[in-house]
Amino acid sequence: MTQRLHAIAESPRFKNNLQKWTGSVKNFILGLGIAVIVAGVCYIIIAPLVGIISRAFMSPSDVINPLVFLFPLAPTLYNLRTAFDLMGYNTVLLNTLAFAVGMAVLHALVCSFVGYGFARFKFPGSNVLFGLVIVSIVVPIQSYMIPMFLNFRFFLGSPDLNLLGTIWPILLLTATGVGIRSGLYIYIFRQFFRGIPKELEEAAFIDGAGPMGTYLRIMLPNAVPACVTVFLFALVWHYNDTYYTSMLMTGNNMMASALSSLGFSYAGWRSLMELPVNPILTQMVVFGGVLLAIAPVMIIYLFLQRFFVEGLERSGIVG
C-alpha cells in the first residue's frame, strides 16, 4: 500500500499536477491580496466623493431626514441644475478648457525641448543651470508674487504696458518654461530622455539628422508616455489653479474661481429672490458644482489613459 502511494507520489504526472495546483493556489492568494489592497486604497480615495455625489442628488427633505444615509429617497437634479446655471457652466467650461488645453500643449512642447537640452548635451554650467530648474520649482510663487505682479503691471518698465487681466502673463511664463510647475515637467522630460538608449540618437546622427531633427523625429515620438503625463498634469493644474489666474488674469471667468465663488453666488441669489439663506442647501449646490467641475477632466483622463501604454516597444530597438 505505502509502496504504491510512493510510486504515485514519485510519478512525473502527479508531480506535474501538484506543481500546477500549488501554482494556481499561489496566484489566487496573490490576486486576493492585491484585490484587498486595491479595494482598500480605492475606498479611502472615493469615500469623500461618495459623500459629495450622494449629497448633490438629495432634495432638502432628504437632508433633514436622519434615516437617509447616502441613498436619497427623493433624488433630484435641482442642485446640479442650479450650479450649472449659477456658474454659467457652458461658457466657463469652454473658456477654461480652451485655456488649459492650450497651455498644457505649450508646456509639453517647451518643457520637452528644454528637457532634451538638459538630458543630452554637456555644456559649461549645465549642472548649475539644472540646479536652478529645481530651485525654480522649490521657491513658492507666493514668495515672489509682488515683484511678479509689478513686472506685468509695468511690463518692460513702461508704465503704459499693462499685461494684467490678459492671457499674456501666463502665456509668456509658460512659453519660457517658468509657468505653473514647469520646472517639474522639464525634470520629468530630462529623466525620460536620459532613459532612452543613446544608440537611437547615434543612428539618427549618422544618417545625417541635426540636433533639431533628432529631437523632432526620434526623441519626441518616443516620449509619448512622458508627453501624455505632462499634458495631463499641466491640464489639471491649469484647470484647478486659482492663484495665478486671480493674480494675473483677473476678470477672466475660470472654472476654479467660479466654483469657489459658487456658494456666495447661490446665497446672493437666494437673498435676491427674498428666500431664506440656508447653509445646508448652499452646501448641496456647491457639491453639485464640484461634480460638474471634476467631470470634464475625468473624461479627458479616461480618454488619454490608453496612450500611457505606447512606450519604447514601438520603436523596435532591442537592448
Partner 1 sequence: MNAAPRKRRKGLTLRGREIASGYFFIFPWLVGITFFFLLNVGRAARFSVNRVHVIAGYGLTQDFIGLQNFYNIFRVHGTFMREMFTSVGEMLINVPLIIFFSLFMAIILNRQFMGRGLVRAIFFLPVIMASAAIANTIEMSMGMIMGGSSSIPPDMEGAGGGFNAAAIIMLLGSLGMPPQISGYITTAIANLHEVIRSSGVQILIFLAALQSIPSSMYEVAQIEGATSYETFWKITIPMVSPLIITNVVYTVIDTYANAAVVETAHLTYIREMNIGASAAMSISSALLVCLVLFSICWAISRFIFYRD
Helices (H), the chain: 2-10, 12-56, 60-64, 78-87, 89-120, 126-138, 145-153, 168-175, 182-195, 198-206, 211-214, 220-222, 224-240, 243-248, 255-260, 262-272, 279-304
Choice between 7 and 141, CB closer to partner 1 = 141
Which 19-38 positions form the footprint of partner 1 (CB under 8 A)?
31, 34-35, 37-38
Which 137-156 positions form the footprint of partner 1 (CB under 8 A)?
137-140, 142-144, 146-148, 150-151
CB of 264 to partner 1, least distance (A): 12
Which 50-109 positions form the footprint of partner 1 (CB under 8 A)?
50-52, 55, 63, 66, 69-70
Answer yes or no whether residue 180 interacts with partner 1 by CB under 8 A: no
Answer yes or no whether residue 234 interacts with partner 1 by CB under 8 A: no
Answer yes or no whether residue 161 interacts with partner 1 by CB under 8 A: no
Give Cα 206 to chain centroid, integer Å: 38
Answer yes or no whether residue 114 interacts with partner 1 by CB under 8 A: yes
Residue from 203, 236, 252, 253 in contact with partner 1 (CB under 8 A): 236
Q: Which stretch, 12-20, 79-87, 89-97, 282-290, contacts partner 1 (CB under 8 A)?
A: 282-290
Residue from 8, 98, 132, 277 in contact with partner 1 (CB under 8 A): 132
Residue from 88, 165, 268, 311 in contact with partner 1 (CB under 8 A): 311
Alpha carbon distance 5, 179 (integer Å): 74
Choice between 8 and 25, CB closer to partner 1 = 25
Q: What is the dihedral of CA 77, 81, 87, 88, to 10 degrees?
A: 150
Three-state DSSP class for residue 70 = coil
Residue from 87, 184, 247, 249 in contact with partner 1 (CB under 8 A): 184
> Is residue 186 within 8 Å of 177, Cβ to Cβ?
yes
For residue 262, give Cα distances in angstroms to 56, 100, 207, 289: 14, 21, 58, 7
CB of 36 to partner 1, least distance (A): 11
Residue from 11, 17, 24, 126 in contact with partner 1 (CB under 8 A): 126
Q: Which of 52, 61, 51 is nearest to 80 (CA)?
A: 52
